[in-house]
Amino acid sequence: MSVEIAIVEEEAELYAERLRAEFPDIVVHAGHTAADVIARCGSCNVIMGLAQCIPPALVQATPRLEWIQALTTGVDPLIMMDVLDPKVPITSARGIHGPQMSEMAFLFMLDFARDIRAILRDQQNRYWERRPQRLLLDKTVAIVGVGVISEELARRCKAFGMRVLGVSSRASADGFDAMYTRDRLEEAAAQADFLIAIVPYTRDTHHMISAAVLDAMPRHGVFINIARGPVVDEEALIERLRDRRIAGAGLDTFIEEPLPASSPLWGLDNVIITPHVGGMSDIYAEQILPLLIHNVRAFKEGRVSDFRNLVRG
């Protein structure tokens, strides 16, 4: 099968180089943004890129489109795209983000446990103060959404001696001490020193972390969002952070990104804000290229049924 690919990503040329080396007969157009490739993709039958960086205009500019390979685990922007033919298969990067997402969760948990930001301020001011040091040992973490990433995070939590709860339709999973169905989310939240959202964003998970869920958390509890911004009721979260009804929040994703300068979240001293970097790593290409090569080979040979991480199609 003839293959012509448009790749939209900061390291698009690296991916293109590796794919051309593996498949000399394919055509690859690489660009940092959709605007860089949109004029060249009229005959492309494949698009690759971060799901949130593939706009409707790029899809509309590829009338021969037969497959989209997202370079992200989440594909909700594509699933919800009106102009995308629902018959076009979508594959994701599910399974490669466990290490970086787990480390991001621990960055938040360790900061709130050890008050690293205050220690760094003291260092900058040349001020010596021995601050209380909370351990993660014996703390309870409730992970909302149980999949490949969550299982990897759970194993790391167990290595720190933590009790791990999962919120999912699954009956069990590696590394979890107990599982709760979604209708028991508040029950799990009530036990959580750390409540972590990793659930995919869908219409069913919109505002899943609701005011009621946040109110169920203990006052010393910390909410961590490494899923998608709309998974949490952001206004309810801001209100509870302002009132100290929960101890804090570590937020990597937001309803609007980039987070506007006008957002009240910037001014809250019990919030850590990171700019949606949880899925990034310094070895991302090495992590994802084996998946891309496998799926391109399956596509070339007409074996769509052999796609890995087929989300739709």
The residues carrying an active-site annotation are 228, 257, 276
Query: Do the bridges between strand 90-91 and strand 310-312 make them parallel or antiparallel, or are there none, so unpaired?
Result: antiparallel
Report how far residue 204's alpha carbon sits from residue 191's, in angstroms, rounded to the nearest whole number. Answer: 24
Hey, how many other C-beta atoms are within 10 angstroms of the C-beta on 130?
7
CB 95 within 8 A of CB 309: yes
Cα 47 to Cα 61: distance, rounded to the nearest angstrom: 11
- State the maximum Cα–Cα separation within the chain, in Å, rounded to a whole number: 67
* Inter-residue contact 276 to 56 (CB < 8 Å): no
- Residue 37's beta-bridge partner residues? none
Q: How far apart are the first and last CA of the chain?
A: 18
Distance of CA 250 to the CA centre of its chain: 14
DSSP characters over 221-276: -EEEE-S-GGGB-HHHHHHHHHTTSSSEEEES--SSSSPPTT-GGGG-TTEEE--S
Q: How many angstroms separate the CA atoms of 259 and 256, rounded? A: 6
Report which residue type is found at 203.
R
Q: State the Rg of the chain over Cα.
A: 21
